[in-house]
Amino acid sequence: MKTAVLRSFSFTALLISIFSLSIAAQFPQSNNQTVTPEVQKAQEAGSRILEESGRYFREGLQAFKDNRRSDAGANFDKSVQVFLYSTINLQRDAKLSACYNQLIETVYRVEFPTDAQPAKIRELSATCTWAWNANDFKLADDVVALTHAAKTAVSNSTTAVVSTGGAAQPESSVIGFNDQQFEPSPLDELAKLELTPDEQQLDTPAAQQQFQYIQYAVANKSLGFTFQVHPMIQQYINYYQARGRSTMEVGLYRSGMFMSMARRIFREEGVPENMAWLGQVESTWKPTALSWAAASGLWQFIPGTGSRFGLQRTSYVDERNSFDEATRASARYLKFLANRYNGNWELAMAAYNSGEGNVDRAIRRSGVMNFWSSYQYLPQETRNYVPNILATILIANSPNQYGFGHIRPAAPLRYDRVKVPGSTNLSILAQASDTSVQYLRYLNPQLRSNVTPPEAYIINVPPGKANEVVAVFKRAPASKINNSNLATTQTGESWQTISNRTGVSVADLVAANPGMASPKGKVFVPMSGNRVTTIAYTRPSSPKATAAGSSVKVVKAVAGDTVAKLAARNNADAVEVAKFNGLLTNSVLGAGREIKIPNK
């Protein structure tokens, strides 16, 4: 599908904490004129947090203005981490709460600018009581102007792409803090593909036999829908049997992961199941595929079309990258297009690629509601797109006939789907489903961060784990879920033995597990500290080459360990260890828990 908006993967990872920290209250206040030492100490600590956060934020602004976007993102991250790694209970301070929440929103608006909600940097400085001078305010205004210019540049580029059908690679990223890492979509090459004379050859015995098969398949309607037989379909089959063989082989293999799900959803939506092979041409079945113009996901939706068919795109999720939701949206869009063109699936596919406007204009110019009659009036990519999909469908349905019988599709990607409370941290969800945060992110590529949206949301978890997750969440109020870890009990264990290996008192364990006379299964282990949930700060993005010699060391925690204690024992930075493992520096670690320590 033609696309519009560049996508990046940097600060959105920090929005994991936006899940309604709702940090309400204030610095401890005295009822008389005398300020106690405890109050004075708390006020000074709060002031240091605001000052340090402001320093990092200003450094981020300067880096952004200098077009050092990676440095800008790193400094903005640090400005937020000052709050998250503080020892102050943020839930009891209204001033820190207001600054923190507005800081999160402002950095997001700097990274992803919109005309409707520009970054309000001056207002942030007032909320956080930063002592800015005239130069600081000028810097803030310059950054706001730059974000507006970036938004305008993207909008103009998008308009040019949609109107001309061009395929010019953007010279540089104008949105986001990190370099754009594109996982190529097959559409990128398809837009400029030109068939060779050998590929256009149809008078070989093999090509003639295969072309007759196309006519037979259309005549007996064995593919679930009809289309007009055209020589270009066989020419694309020729292409895939030679120059494009590796692309077809990869697609057929990866189709095993998603095709059963796609067939089911297309069938439920009343769309021919074989139309689901469109996903192979769109993305080669890569959920994080990103085209040159940033179409995203298995089905390469642009934001506007995705929104029309129910896909959310917020600071928490981008459902264009989801499995089930995006697949259902794709099926509904195709059905809408087929109805628009009186059941003509070739025109529906063409419109899926280039938009209804381009197809409608082509039909008006040709005077016939027929793809091949309108062919010459369509964008080049769309001319290639439709016969390409039809060739893919034919090969996928008869791989032996076309020389792909040796490809064995990958095993289906299995998962359960569970509705979890709003603002659920993936750390507790991973513990409940006996997996890792990283694997949950793999199963839920639509998540922008390690926390679910503020409303109840359906999450994919490993197969067979849905009941366990539901059982865990039923036992504790949603407000306490994110302030706990889980410990798996062994047969015969008591609260005392769990206390010994977690470092949490028996009284606190019993209070965290009401109605449980003795530990059984997974038990809640309350966390102490500032009650900010355990999180990880980096969003999975396209893999980059690992630096030579970089690795991690895995160590096991002992009873009573926290991240800080374990890091000190291994001469490591506690904050870095916490971030690397998705924890807090004061998170209590169960005896034997494996912790990864990044090597410097």
337-344: long-range contacts at Cβ-Cβ below 8 A with a sequence spacing of 24 or more? 338/271, 341/369, 342/369, 344/369, 344/370, 344/371
Distance CA 184, CA 193 (A): 15
The packing angle between helices 345-354 and 324-340, to 10°, is 120
Helix, strand, coil percent content, the chain, rounded in steps of 5? 50, 5, 40
| Residues near 225 by beta carbon (within 8 Å), at least 6 away in sequence | 272, 274, 275, 345
Hey, is 427 helix, strand or coil? helix
Contact 490, 454 (CB under 8 A): no
Distance CA 260, CA 321 (A): 18
Distance CA 64, CA 81 (A): 19
Helix (H) or strand (E) holding 377: none
Is 282 one of the annotated active-site residues of the chain? yes
Alpha helices in 341-465 (DSSP H): 345-354, 356-366, 371-374, 380-397, 426-432, 437-443
Distance CA 477, CA 451 (A): 17
Contact 425, 534 (CB under 8 A): yes
Pick the catalytic residue from 282, 346, 381, 468: 282
Alpha carbon of 474 to those of 75, 420, 470, 574: distances in Å?
39, 10, 6, 33
- What the block records as the tokens of 22 is 């709702």
- What the block records as the tokens of 598 is 């990044």
Burial track 90-101 (b if 16+ CB lie within 10 A, e otherwise): bbbbebbbebbb
- What the block records as the tokens of 425 is 């941290």
- What the block records as the tokens of 187 is 């559409």
The pair phi, psi for residue 492, each rounded to 5°, is 85, 0
- What the block records as the tokens of 391 is 């060739």
Closest Cα partner for 347 from 273, 149, 339? 339
Residue type, 365: R
Hey, is 129 helix, strand or coil? coil
515: left (phi over 0), alpha (psi -120 to 50) or beta: left
Give the burial class of 355: count Cβ atoms within 10 A of its Cβ; 0-12 exposed, 13-18 middle, 19 or more buried. Answer: buried
- Residue identified by tokens 């507006």 is 148
Contact 265, 327 (CB under 8 A): yes
Q: Which residues are catalytic?
A: 282
